[in-house]
A and B are shown apart, each in its own frame.
Chain A
Amino acid sequence: MVTLRRSATLATPAPVQPVRVGPLERRERKLFLAFLTPGALLAIGALFIPVFYAIQLSFYHTESFIDTPEFVGLGNYVRIFTDPRYWEAFWHGLFYAGTTVFLQVVIGIAIALLLHQEFRGRNWLRSAALAPYILPTVVVVYIWKWLLNLNHGLINVGLESIGITPIAWFSSVVGAWFSIIFVSVWYWTPFVTITFLAALQSISDDLYDAAAVDGANSWQRLLHITLPVLKPVLVVIIMLRTIFMFNKFDIVWLLTSGGPLTSTEHLPILAYQKTFDMFDIGGGTAVATSIFLFLTLLIWLYFRLFPIEEMD
């Protein structure tokens, strides 16, 4: 209505009348504010203030949260960017995120395609496939830590019983990497599976019927119907999983704490260790801020390369 009135005034210019706001709209605005305020306060209190505080701390030298900070400008950034340990952790993070996301997506899609088929016991299997995802991280990690324990773990006991020497999973570089990647993939693949399964169910059967009439085999249907239709979901999943895995702290910390030595140390672990173990809060928050900036840049680049709107 308002738009029409404004269009009408274009022909005969006249002073614009202020739009009268009725009692219903005023009440709606209040209601809108009432709904918005708790969320906004929560976001400010739990997100914006801590992030701002962390960024602020990265410009200071401070030994602990109870110390008096001393302004050092970009000193902490210069220090961390010239530290080989930072770059080692950065590449570890990229390797960890890249490997785990690739495996989660490939295995997740495969399981989703399997669970999309009609077969007896499908619902039971769907529930079972999601089981890892509903367990708390700490439970998952401790189960695997126990299973992989060198001296008493079931896996090593099993290996030994068939004549294979027990493996020190957390004492070697390869073993530690295998452990964190394996547990991360085992734990997070169900997230990919459930998302793809939901997307698969939205694909119309007509498309498959038409393809079948044209003589397409199942491989061709997957390549030319399923995957193209799922592309927007795939783009979002890869982006989300990359952010999550690059920032993933709990699994790595609980399994290896970045060790042995610094072999599995990535940037979130380095940020934590600098802040809480090395009494270098400025350095730790500079590392954390650099992660934030890197991921922002990555997301921007990613959406430039894969614009979701065009896919729609």
Chain B
Amino acid sequence: MSDHQSSPALYTPMSRRRLLRTLGAAGGATLLSATGLPRQIHAAKAPTIRIFNNETDPDTIAFLKKMATDYKAEAGATVKIETVPVMQTVTKLTTSIKAGKPYDFIIYWTNLAIQLAEEGQLAPLGEIIKEVGVDDFGPRALRKFKDDYWIYPYDYNFNYLLYRKDWFAEKGLAVPNDWNEFLEVCKALNDPKNKQYALTLPFGNGVHTNWGNTAFLWAAGVEFYDDEWNVILDSPDIKPRVVKTLEFLEKVSQYTPPGPLETSLKDMLINFSNGTSAMTSYTGRAIHTIEDRNPELADKYAIMSYPGPDGGKRAVTYGDDGFSIGKTSNTEATVDFFKWFLSTERLIDYQLTVALHYQPPQYSTYKNEKWRSNPLIQKHWETIEVMMDFMNTDKTLVGSIDFQGPQASPNHARIMTSNVIPKMYSQVLLKKMTPSQAVDAAAKEIREFTTRS
């Protein structure tokens, strides 16, 4: 007998019965946890609502955490928030569903919503939206799919141009009305020797280009699909418009800081707020950056929509931020939570966390006293009025990848994530492909994934 066996405290022989009992207990516990029984028992007592959040602004995250505490105190339900960057949305949401842990409430760039709705992973929001009033929402804010609404929009996220009105005044420049005027303005403002450039605009792969540099396409009347999902990007009617836009953007790229394919959202904010560029494409987040980093600029900027090629209607790009409710074992509790969120003006509080960035899609918000009395809203009211003009369909054309084709579709997410548009730009700028060839290549790629689906 070895030493360790002589000490009962150190050595306890494993009998067959004991081994089987241990294995049985471990197996049972694994099975229970795998089937989610403990979670269901727990949920029956007090639900835990899991929120998927794409908004990474620290103030928004802090607000969501406080909201979770408030809801716990008022309704007894636990709210857990997981913040995920925009580019991880598809991966995170779909794998969470596959793993059997779908999110209950989703705050996101909503181009994945239609696919989720198609797969039966979302709860319809028609009832809630009707209670609020469909007419309260601005143009194109609501979109139906399968006769219902699946997204509650909270931010138009319009992409427009911010410009230095003091520099425009110094050079005697006016807001350009067409592309020729735009190029003249760029030429007048560009001063690379002194590290001052006319415009910071993204051209590389990524959501920043899909959203931040597509408005010229919409202003030119470019469309990707007809009403039956046929690709018309290279059709006799549309192709010349795309070619003209690419030729125009190629000229514009001469007036941007070096390396336009590297330009990120951060560069757009920094270059405008530190005086490197006279114009940039963005939303009101740029105004927050000015307030934080260079408040002296706060009365020296203005905003404008994108001019069309030959004048006429101007354009902005719609950015599609909204809420969805997942079809989970917690759907009922999540609907209650969302109704509480809306009825207690938490939506207004939420939008005010980055007040000038989140552009409310509901008309009632612009009349809401709490919203109007926010110091930043008051300070930048001139900008707010222009932003409200973007909701006027007589003045502004609201374009987006998500508006292509006859209805909401997963094809929109494919155009976005496969970077067809940025690649078209890169083919011209980097590979020196002719615009016509770049359009053909893009149309071919869109046709491939549209047919496959």
Contact = CB atoms under 8 A, between A and B. Distances in A.
Q: Do A and B belong to a common assembly?
A: yes
B328 interface: no
Interface in A154-188: 166, 168, 170-173
Contact of B259 (A170, A261, A276): A170
Nearest to B206: A257
A260 B271 contact: no
A87 interface: no
B276 interface: yes
Contacts of A257: 205-206
B258 A260 contact: no
> Which secondary structure characterizes the binding site on chain B?
helix
A1 to B, nearest CB: 20
Contacts of B410: 63, 279
A151 B276 contact: yes
B172 interface: no
Interface string B244-285: 000000000000011111100001001100001000000000
A150 B431 contact: no
B90 A276 contact: yes
A153 B413 CA distance: 33
A99 interface: no
Contact of B449 (A30, A261, A280): A280
B80 to A, nearest CB: 22
A170 B410 CA distance: 31
Interface in B376-419: 410, 413-414, 417-419
Interface stretch (A64-72, A131-139, A218-226, A240-248): A64-72
B452 A66 contact: no
B121 A66 contact: yes
Interface in A273-305: 273, 276-280
A27 interface: yes
Nearest to B119: A66
B423 interface: yes
A27 B13 CA distance: 9
Contacts of A172: 430
A310 B98 CA distance: 48
Contacts of B259: 150-151, 168, 170-171
B418 A260 contact: no
A61 B453 CA distance: 9
Interface in A1-50: 27, 30
**Chain B contact patch, size range:** 35 or more
B97 A66 contact: yes
B258 A150 contact: yes
A232 interface: no
A57 B122 CA distance: 25
B112 to A, nearest CB: 9
Contacts of A61: 452
A134 B418 CA distance: 35
A152 B266 CA distance: 12
B418 A151 contact: no
Contact of A171 (B206, B261, B267): B261
Nearest to A170: B262
A261 B431 contact: yes
Contacts of A276: 90-91, 417
A39 B416 CA distance: 42
Interface string A100-143: 00000000000000000000000000000000000000000000
A259 B94 CA distance: 25
A65 B98 contact: yes
B426 interface: yes
B262 A64 contact: no
Contacts of B430: 171-173, 260-261
Contacts of B261: 168, 170-171, 259-260
Interface in B425-443: 426-427, 430-431
Nearest to A281: B94
A166 B97 CA distance: 46
Nearest to B98: A65
B289 interface: no
Closest 5 CB pairs of A and B: A168-B259, A277-B417, A65-B98, A171-B259, A171-B261
20 contacts: A27-B14, A64-B90, A64-B115, A65-B98, A67-B119, A168-B258, A170-B259, A170-B262, A171-B260, A171-B430, A259-B204, A260-B205, A261-B205, A261-B426, A276-B91, A278-B414, A278-B449, A279-B414, A279-B417, A280-B452
Interface of B: 13-14, 19, 90-91, 94-95, 97-98, 115-116, 119, 121, 204-206, 257-262, 267, 270-271, 276, 410, 413-414, 417-419, 423, 426-427, 430-431, 449, 452-453
Given A171-B260, A279-B414, 5 more contacts: A151-B276, A168-B261, A260-B204, A277-B418, A278-B414
